[in-house]
Amino acid sequence: MPKGKGPQGKRITLKVAKNAVRVAFNGRRRLDLSKMGIATFPKCILELADVEELDLSRNMLRKIPNIIEKFQNLMWLDLHSNQLDELPAAIGTLKNLTYLNLCNNKLTTKGLPEELTLLRNLRTLNLGLNCLETIPTTLGTLKELIELGLFDNSLTLIPKSVKKLPKLERLNVKRNPLPEFAKEDEPIDTVKRIESLYLVEKKDLCTSCLEMCQGERDELHKLEDMTPEPSDKPSFPSLTTPNSTAMDNQEEWRIK
């Protein structure tokens, strides 16, 4: 068996880790250990704990140890496509984190620590493709969240505290057994509203504005003219054999 491989996955050395540090487009330093066959969190990367971004996605990790708290500069953490069934409480110490991707793991509701709600600067949280049956209402304390992925879980209810997050723009709950008409579950409000509406008389419009409005009105009239009027001819969709009232299309009824 080749050295460094086996049940524990690939062994990452400090040299390998240092060579995996890249400067991202935003100027941050990213430690990219994605798709490395890692099954155990490599402790050697603690020597690089000052990086701003850490990518451990698409590995075989089953556990993230509490020593993750050493990465106090982290703003971006990608752990998607591993085998995690829980997160450590220490995740809540990463106060600078704005992006956390936990998609495609084995996380359960019990595996989400309360400390997750301490990430008050979090803007993107992806929990899709996991084993979640409920979402903690305390996620409603993440007031800076803009994107939240909850797709492909076993959720039957989205807490109101989550749906009403003040800055939430994208909430993906696709492919969950959410009831279509749940009395206790208000529909997610996706209607875009305007704050001000001004009505003026035609005589108060400038020439260019008047021409624009008239053009749009003419286009609307064209659409109305193109709309076909309902036919006065009676319809009998339940007929199974032709009769005197179906003479116009009796050829369609004949078995050839």
Report the C-alpha gap between 114 and 117 in whole angstroms: 6
Q: Where are the domains of the chain?
A: 14-172
pLDDT of residue 15: 95
pLDDT, block means (10 residues), the chain with 256 residues: 55 94 92 96 96 97 96 97 97 97 97 96 98 95 97 95 96 90 47 45 57 70 59 48 44 37
- Cβ burial of 20 (10 Å; 0-12, 13-18, 19+) is middle
Q: Beta strand 21-23 with 29-32: parallel, antiparallel or unpaired?
A: antiparallel
Beta strands in the chain (DSSP E): 21-23, 29-32, 53-55, 76-78, 99-101, 124-126, 147-149, 170-172
Check residue 191 and give its pLDDT.
47
Backbone angles phi, psi at 148, to 5 degrees: -140, 120
**CB atoms closer than 10 angstroms to residue 99:** 17
> Which amino acid does the sequence have at 71?
F
> Within a 10 A sphere around the Cβ of 176, how many other Cβ atoms?
18
> What pTM does this model have?
0.68
DSSP class of residue 76?
Answer: E
Task: Please name the residue ranges forming H helices in 103-178.
Answer: 160-163
- Range 54-69 burial, b when 16+ CB lie within 10 A, else e: bbbbbbebbebeeebb
Classified by CATH at the fold level, domain 14-172 comes out as 3.80.10
164 contacts 143 by C-beta, under 8 angstroms: no
